[in-house]
A and B are shown apart, each in its own frame.
Chain A
Amino acid sequence: MKVTIDDISIEVPPGTTILEAARMIGENVPPTMCYYSKLEGSGGKCRSCLVQVTKGSEKDPRPMPKLVASCRTTVMDGMEVRNTTSPDVISARKSVTEFLLINHPIDCPICDQAGECDLQDLSYEHGLSKSRYDFKKRVFEKIDIGDYIQMHMTRCIMCYRCVMVADQLTPERVHGVLNRGEAAEISTYIKKAIDNEFSGNMIDVCPVGALTDKTFRFKSRVWFTKPVYAHRDCKTCSGKVTLWYQGAEVLRVTGRKDRWHEVEEFICNDCRFHKKDTADWVIESAAPVSRHSVISQNHNVYEVPVVRKKLQENNKPE
């Protein structure tokens, strides 16, 4: 099947979604705040990945009347899609970004997710520099969900990924979505700790800082740490992880994330929270980091952009 996105064509197998096709092309990929390829049924909710279908298919060339969620729309043969080349898409994405931010605390300076937050990326690209929302922001009562995971409901964007992790990876889900509409929240109904051996993956899938690692909390900033691939023999999971070092100390263990910020494999809580000693692990290599990421600012820089090189040369000590 042939699909064309922003004038670039690609052949894809039937059943591929527009988003997957865009990821195959690798350029101009719509941002995804809720879709997660490893979680069944995810996507469709945040609306940040909306695209315009200007030609439905070879057979039925009519354009689609509304923008569609690229993560949940399968391609048809001959489909033509506009992503960044459509003013409508850009305008819708701007609106979605604004909507996601009106009640977000924007407390990045004290948020552990800062530096690897999808909402930061989205706002950087599509956000306004000033908020048009002059009302009190929504605040939720804090709830304690146990010793490992810190929950900040105010930062949540209701992507439902953590609920799906609990449904799909663990034998029993003890948290979910309560209430309706703008008052909807992620919570454990009867204040209860979330406790099972895969619960930590909720931290990895959370696109924002609503679920963070209590064992890493306030220890450092992600851009001061250095990601390293490592593995161990684990009975529960694959044992393939990323260790985040500061100096010789392992501050944090996470799953290995790909280009789309999705983990390659889910890991167990034992690996994540209890193995923070280099001796526990077999070190593989430095983890690849995109040079656009702030994490590359201190470490793992693949290529120094020209501007920076010049700056560095100019600033050389005499």
Chain B
Amino acid sequence: MGLQLLLEHINKPEIETIDGYIKHGGYRTLDKVLGKMSPDEVTEEVKTAGLRGRGGAGFPTGLKWTFLDKSTDKPRYLLCNADESEPGTFKDRLIMQKIPHLLIEGMILSSYALGCRTSYIYIRGEYMFILRILEKAIKEAYAKGFLGENIKGSGYSLDLYVHPGAGAYICGEETALIESLEGKRGNPRIKPPFPAVSGLWGCPTIVNNVESICTVVPIVNMSGAEYAKIGIGRSTGTKLISASGNINKPGVYEIELGLPVEEFIYSDEYCGGIKGGLELKACVPGGSSVPILPKHLLLKESNGNPRLMTYESLSEGGFETGSMLGSGGFIVYDEKQCIVKNTWTFARFYHHESCGQCSPCREGTIWLDKVLYNIEHGLGKESDIDLLWDIQHGIEGNTICPLGDAAAWPVAAAIRHFRHEFEYHVRYPHRVKDEDHVYQPEMNYRTA
């Protein structure tokens, strides 16, 4: 195993409890930070570390923190985004389930850096059992005096709450998360204003992913400068990758950024190669929203260099030949997998999850779903492929929030790299049972 900053003690059962966590060096940072370092010094460490948001966009966390509007005397909030709903991504769940105190420690440090008196963890509704784990851990932390009034006599006070969502992917978008936390419909807000200026209840707010917040703990422990030495270039540190699909060893891996993609797939330390000795066909390297790449583009950059697990290398070549690291949901497809079916599956997901606020996404996602349904079920026409391209083009970049892009990109990439599979489906339709021929809406609107 390479360097393990987050998952080092993951397999020790006692790590779930506060005493076990402390035994393995947990909560050390509080003594180092509270009352000793100023909030700005903590932010500076995170900046020096070069930590980039682990929620998908990869925006530098320290820089984001400096955007927090400190000119008002309104309260400030830190919201931890634990809505993890992207198909293919399941890393936050592992941390919260096994090492809940790592997240709590990270929340204390980050809240201190941002000057928050109250912070929230917004967790997806399907993770109700994890919510209970977190609440138990928070109780333990209060009992030890790590949360609440005057933490460890430092004069800093923090209250931490966990709030469940009700089962919507869109509530992972930061402004939709804020709306939902306020008790409203989870519609993304139109930006500007950005949350750092006007977020939760109109107050300055920072939203960060679970993994980003947890990573603040090793950064403070080892110093930002040391952390920045791990990784390559602007991709510093370690990253959790949720590996799934046709591989021998699916699971969550902590990798040092910069690991070659080929090594990640084939080495026994990580995915352990393709299951059943089959050939690798394609891979979605960063969660369902990022473009799919065929094998030859996945393993090598356009200049022939090996492709690495970094923000830069994975996006090398733009969308023509590259993809994105995204949230690290690494989905591997072997030679027997059908790209058309996979694209349809993704399209169904985005159709189901669109909030319906803006027209291109609301209407475009259902259209993509229906056309892909037809192609997959042997009812497609040659012109449907160009139609799909037009639809995704009409959505991309024209919506309020990136969900529209996330719905468009996978379709575009599948057509770009696997057009022949779409054509094959259209020319040699394998018809399904007659009763399946009509598109069955999966959504339960009250139809007349």
Contacts and interface: CB of A to CB of B under 8 A. Distances in A.
Interface string B385-422: 00100100111011110000000000000000000000
A181 B365 contact: yes
Given A135-B370, A139-B448, A183-B445, A99 B356 contact: no
B371 to A, nearest CB: 9
Contacts of B365: 181-182
A46 B356 contact: no
Interface in B208-257: none
Nearest to B381: A134
Interface stretch (A21-29, A66-74, A204-212): A66-74
A20 to B, nearest CB: 16
A249 to B, nearest CB: 34
A182 B351 contact: yes
A310 B89 CA distance: 69
Contacts of A182: 351, 354, 356, 362-363, 365-366, 443, 445
B357 interface: yes
Contact of B356 (A69, A139, A184): A184
Contact of B397 (A46, A66, A179, A185): A66
B144 to A, nearest CB: 41
Interface residues of A, number: 41
Interface string A72-106: 10000000000000000000101110111011000
Say whether chain A's binding surface is mostly helix, strand, loop, or mixed. loop
A180 B168 contact: yes
B360 interface: yes
Given A99-B394, A182-B351, A47 B447 contact: no
A157 interface: yes
Contacts of A43: 190
Given A47-B398, A132-B387, A100 B359 contact: yes
Contacts of B185: 176-177
Nearest to A184: B356
A255 to B, nearest CB: 26
A87 to B, nearest CB: 13
A257 interface: no
Given A45-B400, A96-B394, A141 B362 contact: no
A180 B395 CA distance: 18
B439 interface: yes
Contacts of A99: 359-360, 362-364, 367, 394
B203 interface: no
B348 to A, nearest CB: 12
Contacts of A142: 448
A98 B443 contact: no
A161 to B, nearest CB: 13
B71 interface: no
A60 to B, nearest CB: 15
B362 A184 contact: yes
B362 A181 contact: yes
A274 interface: no
Nearest to A157: B359
B363 A100 contact: yes
B353 A181 contact: yes
Given A46-B359, A95-B394, A182-B362, A72 B444 contact: no
Interface of A: 43-48, 50, 66-67, 69, 72, 92, 94-96, 98-100, 102-103, 132-133, 135-136, 138-142, 157-158, 160, 176-177, 179-185
13 contacts: A44-B358, A45-B400, A47-B399, A66-B397, A92-B398, A95-B395, A135-B367, A141-B448, A177-B356, A180-B170, A181-B353, A182-B363, A182-B443
Interface of B: 168, 170, 185, 190, 351-360, 362-367, 370, 387, 390, 393-395, 397-400, 439, 443-448
